[in-house]
Structure formats: structure tokens, C-alpha cells
Amino acid sequence: MAIHKGRGFACINYPIGMNLGGDPAQALVHSTPDGKFMVALSAIDLGQGMKSVTRQIASETLGVPVEDVYVDTADSDTGPHDMGSFASRGTHRVGNAVIRASAEARKQMLEAAAEELEVNASDLDTDGKGNIHVKGAPSRSITVADTAMAAQFKQGRTLAGRGIFLIPPSDADAETGEMTPVTCFAHAALVIDLEVDDETGDVEVKEINSAYEVGRALNPKLVEQQLIGGAWMGVSHALYETTEPQYPKRDHGPQDFNTYLMPGPGQIVPHNIAVLERPAEDAPFGGKGPGEMCANPVLPAVANAIYNAVGIRCDRLPITPEKILRGLRANGGARPQQVR
Amino acid sequence: MSSTEFRKDLFADERDDTLKEIGKPTIRQDILGHVTGRTKYFDDHLFDGLLHMRAVRSPHHHARIRRIDTEAAARMPGVRRVVTAKDVPVNLNTLLSLINFGRDDEPLCAHDKVRFLGETVAWIIADTEREARDAVAQVRVDYEPLPHVLDVEEALKPDAPVVNEVYPNNTFDYHGKYDHQKLRFGDVNAAFARADHVIEAEYQMSPIEQAPIETCGAIAAPEQNGRFVCHTNTQALFFSLGTTAKLLDTPSSRLHFIGGTAGGGFGGKVDSIVEPTAVLGAMLTGRPVKFAWDRYEEMQVGAPRGGERWRIKDGVMRDGTIIAREFTGFFDSGAYMRLSPYAIIKGTGHLPGPYSIPNVASNVYCVVANRTPATAMRGFGITAVDFSIECHMDRVAEAVGMNPIELRILNAYRDGDMKAHRRKAKNTALIECCQVAAGKAGWSISADAMAQSSLRGGGLGERGAIPETATDEEGRIGERRAGRTRDTAPSRQPTGRVPAGHAGQAVTAAPVQNPDMEIEIERIGHRIAAQQGAAPAPRAPQPPAGQPTPPRAAPPAAAPQSSYAPPPSPQATAPTYQQPPAPTPPPAPTPPTPPAASEPYKPEQPFSRGVNRPGTSRFLSGTRRR
Amino acid sequence: MARTPLTFTLNDAETGVFVVPGSNLLDVLRRGAGDLTPKQGCAQGTCGSCTVLIDGVPHLSCLTLAETVEGRRIDTTGGLAGGPDLHPLQQAVMEGFAAQCGFCTAGMLMAAKALLDRTPNPTRDEVIEAISGNLCRCTGYEPIVDAILTASARMQGRTA
């Protein structure tokens, strides 16, 4: 009886946004009288950071400090239509809508500032710190707050913008499957190191080394949250989770967290991540949604590592100790493969 | 301890890293609410006189409902209302009817028969949750159990029980023609015949629970002006609103949905069941009503990530080049369709994975069985097939005796390669991910594999071309039920040919509504493709093997790519966002809109937001109408 | 239904409510006392989102009979911050990006507070054990463990 080390690899790509398009997102942006900006959406933040990333996108596009932007979502009376938070569409679709709404609001803001400074709007730029200045002449400037006050109370102008982003709907061909599924893809590759106990069938994942290509890390910490948490879920899917342990029979399905298994804080796997950024042309600042794809490569990499450790092909998820022990029995014991 | 590094050296020439806010680790907007406990989830809205709604659920996989006796339940303490199917104004829907996909196939509450264990047959609304539960136990339902089918391939047999009469063949009808979605690219059978190895295997993923810590739920309450407010943790606010309006036959303007903050979702909160149920309860009682799943319901009644079965057959040459790949896939949709048939099209568009393979075929079936309906989960439509593909890649590597990472780099797709769905690959980065991950793990790969690049070698010759394609018409709707078709794999005897080079236009984003909505080109932060839709410029051919240049050491020679530089004239090279200046104006709203002035808002005929009225669904089959 | 009076100290405030006998503490705190910070994730005592401190000891409020807290002291995340200033645990979770959806956070903070109150310098394993009754589906736990260690260090005047 022994512990066998194994190493496995997998790589994937992932489509960003709803397949075949037809999933619009809208955004509305307006300024308060003192130059703070409200972004109204109907997007959902389920932990992935929708409110935060759209806030940063609005801040960047408007050219104002992020503290001066607040995202309000989702109230169907005030937030314009959005399809929802699924299919890795939030960053791509809603982010683009926010860019468009913020771009329009910025244009109004620069025109209002131009009137106050008596210059052309096209000669103005923002410093991202709450000031609007003449390009090349930072001293000729006005604050965003003063601009908003002037626009509202002197010029009778709104600093507001609307945005919609849509990939028009298309269809798949019945005969060949030809289609335009999405417009960009994220990528990932990872290496799993694990140990298999051939007496208990227990698998312990020891380390993950990964590379994720996300277009652009719009907020590196939010990306890291997704990648760490997503890989955890991938390990969980690979080794523990199912609602039907005797699938397709429905017997003995877990009914609570005592019987639905997931790794706990005592099973944290060190995960060394490299983030690659190859911006996608139609994505907001090039950023692709990392939230879904992060779990996918973990499942096959775990299976491949188990084969490397003990010579059992685990083709049915989840890979429970029972399946490993049955495989070992069928094989007459562990058959460690080439050390990688 | 984990670590994260940002490889800013890679693709640096395609990015402007001097943005002011983008790329900054700004603290989350919602975090202060989270750490103080002040974040308001749906259940954190207090209502006086809140009632609690619980469902009576089927104990059978498949049974006819002969009679429902609710009298004893109605007399239980605290019970305010017993609700059954006849209280649901429009008791048939499919989630994607909001985008005209699929037929209405699912009642909110079963009436004629139950099709899966746990299906709703009635509800109790009571003063407390405990009273509602006690009354649920008093509802007597007289069932006539029917033969059931649980396995996806059993369900495809001619004598399998009909699970859902709307889809009598136990499969989704694709394009009004086939019982599966086809993908055909090249001729896999001819390629298998000349391959050095043919490698086959079957993979299975069992259903998986999304398991957000907060279960699905909603609180609905009468609001002023005859409207209803609904606090929900839906992942898709307007899906839930539109579905509620349709099922309850009420104008969407009477519904005020508030959400946006969910305690996790992972795909499990898109099904829009709790919202119409809670609003129905509020309408019937005139009181605030909470309807939320308990943990058991979340695990076994709420839709999981459905099971999937995939068979893969690869034709491989001795050097590791994969020349053909064939898939047969079965999605376990459960008793109702919901999102599964759509996810199959997504999965089909994903095949054959991130690789350039000249011959690809697949048949994917969306199968109805007496099981809990499946729905979205993180990676929907892709997770299981990626598991299958990547396990299969290791089988192939073993068969040809190759390092598994080198095998993937050899077959990886690159910029300009033609994908099996007949669109060119762009913005690829698989090879670089493989190289970096191998490097981090200290797993050595050959100098040649290290020298490869996603930017080079793609789209050359056959890699960028669409081959002549073998087609067939097997698997027409109903043939399987009639016993005329058995095989589920792509045909061995193609009957048609699609000429080489046949492809339609790629679809890109609709242009901005007006120029003011366009972000200035120099502020986009990345190099813009100069020509949309055009083939990427051919790259210099690969350096000879054995010349171990790291992939980034030799950037492409072409000047525009060498560093980030805004194009000199914004007018000359518009970003993809705004171009093309559409040859035709954007499609007008479907029905001719009457002038606003002639049609003032009428309170008795309120407006509707994206809702199909009952009986007017334009869709007949899986083909999406525009 | 008959109700009985119940008094306890909730985050330093004397609190009195009327409860239906047999009610669980979670419902009484949320709907009776109006403290919405403990969350219901399972109502089965398996997820830990409803964790509160009773006389300083972490309890699953969904499994606690309300009547048993008569005259006792209850602490929730609602009282964790001292006025406008965040507790070091809250600060560390915020800066460490140790919450995503935030639903488990309040319970997690209570479990962590109980640990640091009795063990100001916990080891990593002690932190793991202290939160092992609290489920999180988003983060993979590592940022939470790190944040608790960071808070401990700051409270002791160390750098983590």
C-alpha cells in the first residue's frame, strides 16, 4: 500500500458572451449637480464583482476618479434592460454598454467644460483626478464638480449618457452547424500535482500551476478572486460533487451540506497563477470574462493526473475513492505511469 | 500559499498599460456592505404580515394526477390559501420563449401529470413557514404511477415512455428537422480511413448542484397603484420579470422587480420559478409572500448542472497530428427543456475544442427524461465536453507516445485558423498558456514547442480553409421513435456534399446608436484590428525547428504590431465597435410603431416589456426567429 | 398563536421581543429584533451563515431555541464595528478581497471573532479549524484564512 504521485495537464478555451448573440445590455449614466456619476443597470452582482468592474469601466471612460462613480443595480423601474448575469456576458456586454453610456456623458461633460473655459471640447482632456484641462496646458483647467454645477445651473445641460451593446442574433445551420457563436474566447492551461492513496482511494491535490488568458485584467484582484475560487470549484467538481451519486438512478441523492461534498478550508490547494492579457477587439478595454472558464481545465487535469499516478482512466465524474478502488482492483493494483 | 503573477511581457505590444483606473486593484464597491452585514439580499427586506409559501411536491418520477384533495390542508392552522394549477393564468412556458427559442413545455404547477420527482403539484400559503409545511403534509394527491425513464440513451429508444407530450420523441427538435444538432466540417470517415490511430472513449459527468449559500428565493408584495414589488435573487432580472408577466398574464408594467445582489448563483438562479410563484401568492392573498427553496429543494428540485455523456473518436497520425474528431453527445435536460437545447448549440460551436482539426463531425442530443430539469452552471455547455476533450487528448498522447503538452501545442488553434463552425480564429492564446503553465510547473517541453506562437503559422494553406464537407440527413424528427434510426453517432454513409469554402458572414456587434457613444479610439487601451472581418495578415513562417527562440523573443516584424500606437487617423481606421457603417440601417422594432402621440399610456392597458403575449409565440421549433 | 416575552443583550443593547414558543434564534434575531446580519443558508446547521456569539461562544442560531438565550449576551456582525471604525477582521476581509457574494461573510466573521477573542495569535491550522463549520462557495477559503491571520497580526501589533 502506497501513496502515488501524479501530474496532469489540461488546456481550454472559453466563449465569452451568450452564444449566437441577441443578448442586449443597456446602461444609463448621469451626473449629480456636483459632478458625481450614477450608473444605472439591471445587471446582477452574484459575487463576481459586477458592480465593481462596471464602476471601474465607467470611471475610466468618463475620466473621473472611481470614488466619484456609483453603480446602482438592479431595479426594473430605474435600470434599463439587461439579459442577466450568465454565459460570461457581464463584463463583455454590460461593460461595453457602460463604455457607451459613459462616453456620451463624457462628451457632454467636455462640452460643458469647454464652454466654461472658452476653448474647443476637442482640446480638453481629463486627468482622472476630478479635473478637466486643456491638452498640453494643465493649468488651464476646471474641476468636474464645477463643470457639473455650471452645466446644471448655468448652461441647462445634462451630463448624461445612454448605452446599449448588442451582438445581433444569428442562428446555427441545421446541416453543418455553421454559426457565429461568440466574438472572443478566453484561454487557460494548468498543471495539477496530486497524490493517490491506493489503500483508501483518496486523492489529495497538492498544487496547481496555471496560466489564464483573460484579455485584460480590468481589476487584477477581482480576476484573482475568480481564478482562485474557480479552480477550487474545479477540484470540487472533479473529486466530490454530484447530486446523483448513482446516476442515472436518482437514489441516495444528497439533501444537505452534510452529504453534498465539497473541499473545506483544510483542503486549500496552493495555486500559482500566471495571468496573460491579450485584449479582444470588441471587449471593454480588451477584457474577457474570467468567471466561468476558470473551473473547466481543473476537471480533466485532475483525471489525467490520477492516470499518471495509478494508471486508471477515470472517465466518469466525480472521481470518488470508490471509483479509484474499483479501478485498482480491475487493474490488479496501481500502475504508476511515467514521472513528469 | 497561492500566488498570482501578471505576465505583462506577453502580448505587451497589443495593450496600452497606462490606463488610469482599468487594471487597478480597486476595493469592491459592495465590500463594505458585506463586512458589516448591511448588504441587502432578497430576504433582508422586512414586511409586516409576511406570509410563507411552500410547495407540495411529487413523490413519483412519472405519474398521472387523478385528483388533488386540499380540504384537510385548507383547514390547518394558519393556512391562508391553497394554490393549485388552476390558479396560474397561463400555466405553460419555456424560459427562452423570451427570445423565441423552443416551445412552451413547462407548467409552473403540474396539473395532468408529474414528470419528475419533486415537481410542484400545489402550494400552501400560511402565516408561518412551519404552518405551511404542516399543511403541505396534509394535501392528498391521488397518483397513477406511469412507466418512467431516467437514462438519456434509454429515453431515445422507440419504446421509451413519452415524458413530455410537447416533445413526443424525448428529444428537442432542432431547426424543425433533426432530433439533434449537427456539426459537419470536412469528411471524418475518409480521414479515419487514412489515420494511423483511431482512438475512441466515452465520458460521463453526473449532475452537479450550483450550491450557492443563499438558496433561490423571492418576496413579493402588493405595491401602490396596483403594482407588485418582487425582491429576488435572480441572475436575470428581466428574464424573471418577463416570465412572471407571461405566466400570470399581467402587464410587465405592473411588476417592479428589485434584485442585483445575490448570495452566489453559479447559474442556478436563472430559472425564474420562485419569482412568478411569489408574485402569484401575493396576487391571490393581497399580502406579502415569501417563496424560497430550502436546502433540500435547492439540491434535488432546483435545477442542477445536467448530466452529460460524450463519446469522442479521434483519427491521429503517427506524429500526433489529429486529422479527424467525431463527437456524439447527450445532454440530460430533465423533464423540461429550459436552457439545455440552447447550451447544446453553444457546445456545438465550441467543438472540437481549441484545436485546428481539418475534419470534425458531431451529433448532440438534448434528451428529455423523468429527471429534475437541468439548467445553467458556471461553464454551461462547455465544462463536460472540455473534460472529455482534455481526457481524450491524454489518451491520444499516450497512443502516439508524445508529451501531452507538446501534443496540444502541435494541434493548438492559432490566429487565422478556420474553426469547425466556419469562422476564423483570432485573438488566440492557447499556445502561450500551455508554455507558461508548463514553465511554472517545471514540466519541460521541447524547444520546438516553446518556440511556437499563436501569432504565427495559423491560417496557412488548409489551416485557414473550409474543406469540402460530407453531409447527411440522418436523425430526422420522429425517425427514432418509429424505429427507423438507431445509430446516434454522425453518419457513416454521407449522402451530400457542401463545396469547399462555403461560409456565411461573421456577426459582429451592432454599431453605436450615435457617434457620441463612441469612446475615443486612443482611450480604448488596445490595438484595434485595422480591418474587421478580413483575414489576419499572413505571418512570417515558423522559424525552423530546433531553433529555440522563446515565443515572445521575435515579435512580428510588421510595424503596426510592434508597439501600441493609436492609428494616425481615427476616421480612416474605425474600431470594430463602431464599424462597419452598416450598409442597412439597424432593424426597426418588429411591428411598425405607431406615433407616440396617438397612443398615450393607458392605465387599463399598460405597456409590456419584452413579453410575448400568450398565444402569440412565433416560434415553432428550435430555429430562432428574428 | 401565544407569544412569550424574551429579553437578551444584542450587541450591547437591551432587547425585548415576543416570540412564538419553539422559534429558532435566527428568526427571532432577523424578524423579531431586526438584526438582519445573520443569514439563513440551510436552516439545518450545516452552512454556518447564521453563526452568532452567545456569551462569546459561536452558535448556529438556526438550531438554537430562542427561549434559551433569555438574559444572555448575543453578538452579531451587526455590532462588530465599533461605531464608524471597522473591526480589524472586517478591515482585513475588505482589503484582502476575502468576500465575493458576501453571504457567508457575516457568519464567517463571527466564527473568526470567537477564535481571536480566545486565541489572539492563532496558527493557520487553528484558523482553519475555527471556520471549518462555515461554508463558502465563492472564494476557495484561502483569502478568508489569510484575512483572519492578517487581522490577528494587526490586533497584536505585528505585520502578517
Q: What is the pLDDT of residues B423-462, one digit of tens each?
A: 999 999 999 999 999 999 999 999 999 999 999 999 999 9
Cell numbers 405592473 correspond to: B254
CA distance A207 to chain C (A): 14
Q: Categorize the per-residue pLDDT at B241 as very low, low, confident or very high, splitting at 50, 70 and 90.
A: very high
CA distance A48 to chain C (A): 6
Cell numbers 431595479 correspond to: A75
Is C97 within 8 Å of A222 when comparing Cβ atoms?
A: yes
B565: number of CA atoms within 13 Å, CB side? 9
The 3-class secondary structure across B292-313, one letter per residue, is ECCHHHHHHCCCCECCEEEEEE
- The answer to pTM > 0.90 is yes
Matching fold, domains A3-16+184-331 and A25-165: yes
Q: What is the pLDDT of residue C47?
A: 97
Q: Which of C20, C43, C90 sits opposite B36 (nearest CB)?
A: C90
Residues C13 and C36 in one domain: yes
Instruction: Specify the 3-state DSSP secondary structure of A226.
Output: helix
* Interval B168-184: pLDDT, tens: 999 999 999 999 999 99
Q: Which of B260, B381, B436 sits opposite A74 (nearest CB)?
A: B260
Q: What is the pLDDT of residue B440?
A: 98
> Could you tell me if B339 and B304 are in contact, meaning their C-beta atoms sit under 8 angstroms apart?
no
Cell numbers 421549433 correspond to: B621
| Residues from chain C contacting residue A48 (CB–CB below 8 Å) | 100
Q: What is the pLDDT of residue C83?
A: 83
Strand (E) or helix (H) holding A209: strand A203-213
* Interval B402-423: pLDDT, tens: 999 999 999 999 999 999 999 9
Q: Categorize the per-residue pLDDT at B466 as very low, low, confident or very high, splitting at 50, 70 and 90.
A: very high
Is B429 within 8 Å of A276 when comparing Cβ atoms?
A: yes
Q: Categorize the per-residue pLDDT at B559 as very low, low, confident or very high, splitting at 50, 70 and 90.
A: very low
Q: Which residues contact B171 (CB under 8 A, 6 or more apart)?
A: B156, B179, B180, B365, B366, B367, B368, B477, B480
**Would an 8 Å CB–CB cutoff place B264 in contact with chain C?**
yes
Q: What is the pLDDT of residue B304?
A: 97
Q: Show which of residues 76-115 on chain C sit within 8 Å of chain A, judged by CB atoms.
A: 97, 100-103
Residues C75 and C125 in one domain: no
Is C76 within 8 Å of B214 when comparing Cβ atoms?
A: no
Q: The domain at B152-208+304-498 falls in which architecture? A: 2-Layer Sandwich (3.30)
Residues C34 and C96 in one domain: no
Q: Given the cut 0.90, state whether the ipTM is greater than it.
A: yes
| Mean pLDDT along residues B344-356 | 98
Residue C62 DSSP symbol: G
For B127, name the nearest residue in chain C, comparing CA atoms only.
Answer: C1
Measured in whole angstroms, the distance separating CA B295 from the mean position of its chain's CA atoms is 24
Domain end, chosen from C45, C79, C113, is at: C79
Measured in whole angstroms, the distance separating CA B244 from the mean position of its chain's CA atoms is 21
Residues C36 and C93 in one domain: no
| Mean pLDDT along residues A133-140 | 96
Q: Report the distance separating Cα B386 and Cα A190, nearest Å.
A: 13
Q: What is the pLDDT of residue C103?
A: 98
Least confident of B283-297, B580-594, C52-66: B580-594
Amino acid at residue number B148? H
* Interval B75-124: pLDDT, tens: 999 999 999 999 999 999 999 998 999 999 999 999 999 999 999 999 99
**Would an 8 Å CB–CB cutoff place B213 in contact with chain C?**
yes
- Tell me, yes or no, whether C40 lies in a domain: yes
> Could you tell me if C44 and A257 are in contact, meaning their C-beta atoms sit under 8 angstroms apart?
yes
Instruction: Name which of B15, B421, B43 is nearest B220 in CA terms.
Output: B43
Q: Which of A87, A163, A270 sits opposite B1 (nearest CB)?
A: A270
Q: Which of the other chains make 3 or more beta carbon contacts under 8 angstroms with chain B?
A: A, C
Is B263 within 8 Å of C101 when comparing Cβ atoms?
A: yes
> Could you tell me if A11 and B408 are in contact, meaning their C-beta atoms sit under 8 angstroms apart?
yes
Q: Which of B6, B61, B239 sits opposite A275 (nearest CB)?
A: B6
Least confident of A31-40, B319-328, B441-450, B556-565: B556-565
Report whether pLDDT(B249) > 50.
Answer: yes
The domain that contains C143 carries what CATH number? Answer: 1.10.150.120
Q: Report the distance separating Cα B19 and Cα B520, nearest Å.
A: 13
Residues C35 and C61 in one domain: yes
Residue A119 DSSP symbol: S
Residues C16 and C74 in one domain: yes
| Mean pLDDT along residues A296-305 | 98
Q: What is the pLDDT of residue B571?
A: 38
A65: number of CA atoms within 13 Å, CB side? 10
Q: Categorize the per-residue pLDDT at C1 as very low, low, confident or very high, splitting at 50, 70 and 90.
A: low
Question: Which residues make beta-bridge pairs with A7?
Answer: A193
Least confident of B148-162, B355-369, B498-512, C50-64: B498-512
Q: Categorize the per-residue pLDDT at B527 as very low, low, confident or very high, splitting at 50, 70 and 90.
A: confident
**Would an 8 Å CB–CB cutoff place B387 in contact with chain A?**
yes
Is A176 within 8 Å of B202 when comparing Cβ atoms?
A: no
For A257, name the nearest residue in chain C, comparing CA atoms only.
Answer: C46
> Is the four-CA dihedral B107, B112, B116, B119 of positive or negative sign?
positive
Q: Categorise residue B295: left if φ over 0, alpha if ψ from -120 to 50, beta otherwise.
A: alpha
Least confident of A44-53, A272-281, B611-620: B611-620
| Residues from chain C contacting residue B265 (CB–CB below 8 Å) | 101
| Residues from chain C contacting residue A222 (CB–CB below 8 Å) | 97
Residues C94 and C73 in one domain: no
**Would an 8 Å CB–CB cutoff place B595 in contact with chain A?**
no
CA distance C144 to chain A (A): 9
Q: How is the beta sheet containing A185-197 ordered, strand by strand?
A: A3-15, A185-197, A203-213, A271-276, B3-6
**Would an 8 Å CB–CB cutoff place C46 in contact with chain A?**
yes
Q: Report the distance separating Cα B312 and Cα A78, nearest Å.
A: 49
The domain A25-165 having CATH identifier 3.30.365.10: the answer here is yes
CA distance B378 to chain C (A): 12
CA distance B213 to chain C (A): 5
Q: Which residues contact B378 (CB under 8 A, 6 or more apart)?
A: A230, A233, A291, A292, A295, B210, B266, B267, B305
- Tell me, yes or no, whether C12 lies in a domain: yes
| Residues from chain B contacting residue C78 (CB–CB below 8 Å) | 36-37
Residues C70 and C111 in one domain: no
Q: Categorize the per-residue pLDDT at B162 as very low, low, confident or very high, splitting at 50, 70 and 90.
A: very high
Q: How is the beta sheet containing B63-69 ordered, strand by strand?
A: B113-114, B63-69, B140-145
Q: What is the pLDDT of residue B555?
A: 36
Enclosing domain of residue C18: 4-79
Coarse DSSP helix, strand, coil percentages of chain C, rounded to the nearest 5 percent: 40, 20, 45
Chain C interface test: which of A225, A236, A258, A261 (most C C-beta within 10 Å):
A225
> Could you tell me if C106 and C136 are in contact, meaning their C-beta atoms sit under 8 angstroms apart?
no
Residues C9 and C70 in one domain: yes
Domain ranges for chain A? 3-16+184-331, 25-165
Q: Which of B15, B307, B502 sits opposite A247 (nearest CB)?
A: B307
* Interval B267-322: pLDDT, tens: 999 999 999 999 999 999 999 999 999 999 999 999 999 999 999 999 999 999 99
Q: Categorise residue B179: left if φ over 0, alpha if ψ from -120 to 50, beta otherwise.
A: alpha
* Burial of B597 per CB tally in 10 Å (0-12, 13-18, 19+): exposed
Q: What is the pLDDT of residue C84?
A: 87
More confident position, B593 or A171: A171
Cell numbers 498522447 correspond to: B397
Domain count, chain C: 2
- Tell me, yes or no, whether C27 lies in a domain: yes
Is B11 within 8 Å of A278 when comparing Cβ atoms?
A: yes
Instruction: Name which of C127, C129, C132, C130 is nearest C146 in CA terms.
Output: C127
Q: Which of C36, C89, C94 sits opposite B44 (nearest CB)?
A: C36
Q: What is the pLDDT of residue B557?
A: 36
Q: Which residues contact A303 (CB under 8 A, 6 or more apart)?
A: A8, A238, A313, A314, A315, A319, B387, B391
Q: What is the grid cell recorded at B296?
A: 433540500
| Mean pLDDT along residues A165-172 | 96
Q: Show which of residues 51-90 on chain B sit within 8 Å of chain A, judged by CB atoms.
A: 61
Report whether pLDDT(B487) > 90.
Answer: yes
User: Which fold would CATH assign to domain A3-16+184-331?
Assistant: Aldehyde Oxidoreductase; domain 4 (3.30.365)
Instruction: Name which of A69, C93, A179 is nearest B348 in CA terms.
Output: A179
Is B128 within 8 Å of C77 when comparing Cβ atoms?
A: no
CA distance B175 to chain A (A): 6
Q: Which of C100, C101, C145 sits opposite A265 (nearest CB)?
A: C145
| Residues from chain B contacting residue A264 (CB–CB below 8 Å) | none
Question: Which residues make beta-bridge pairs with C7?
Answer: C16
| Mean pLDDT along residues A284-289 | 96
* Interval B33-64: pLDDT, tens: 999 999 999 999 999 999 999 999 999 999 99
Coarse DSSP helix, strand, coil percentages of chain A, rounded to the nearest 5 percent: 30, 25, 45
Q: Which of B238, B394, B510 sits opposite A168 (nearest CB)?
A: B510
Average pLDDT of every residue of chain A: 97
Q: Which of C36, C99, C142 sits opposite B34 (nearest CB)?
A: C99
| Mean pLDDT along residues B333-352 | 98
Domain end, chosen from C79, C111, C146, is at: C79
- Domain B44-146+210-300, CATH class in plain words: alpha beta
* Interval A71-101: pLDDT, tens: 999 999 999 999 999 999 999 999 999 999 9
Domain end, chosen from C79, C114, C144, is at: C79
Q: Which of C103, C132, C135 sits opposite A257 (nearest CB)?
A: C135
Is B213 within 8 Å of C135 when comparing Cβ atoms?
A: yes
Question: Which residues make beta-bridge pairs with B55?
Answer: B123
DSSP secondary structure string for all residues of A236-295:
HHHHT--S-TTTTS-TT---STTTS----GGGPPPEEEEEE----TTSGGGPPP-TTTTT
Q: Report the distance separating Cα B240 and Cα B272, nearest Å.
A: 5
DSSP secondary structure string for all residues of A171-205:
---TTT------S-EEEEEEEEEEEEETTT--EEE
End-to-end CA distance of chain A: 22
Q: Which of the other chains make 3 or more beta carbon contacts under 8 angstroms with chain C?
A: A, B
Least confident of B564-573, C120-129, C145-154: B564-573
- Tell me, yes or no, whether C160 lies in a domain: no
Is C97 within 8 Å of A221 when comparing Cβ atoms?
A: yes
Q: Categorize the per-residue pLDDT at B334 as very low, low, confident or very high, splitting at 50, 70 and 90.
A: very high
For C99, name the nearest residue in chain A, comparing CA atoms only.
Answer: A47
| Residues from chain B contacting residue A79 (CB–CB below 8 Å) | 237, 260
For B363, name the nearest residue in chain A, comparing CA atoms only.
Answer: A177
- How many CB atoms within 10 Å of residue B344? 27
Chain B interface test: which of C36, C46, C62, C93 (most B C-beta within 10 Å):
C36
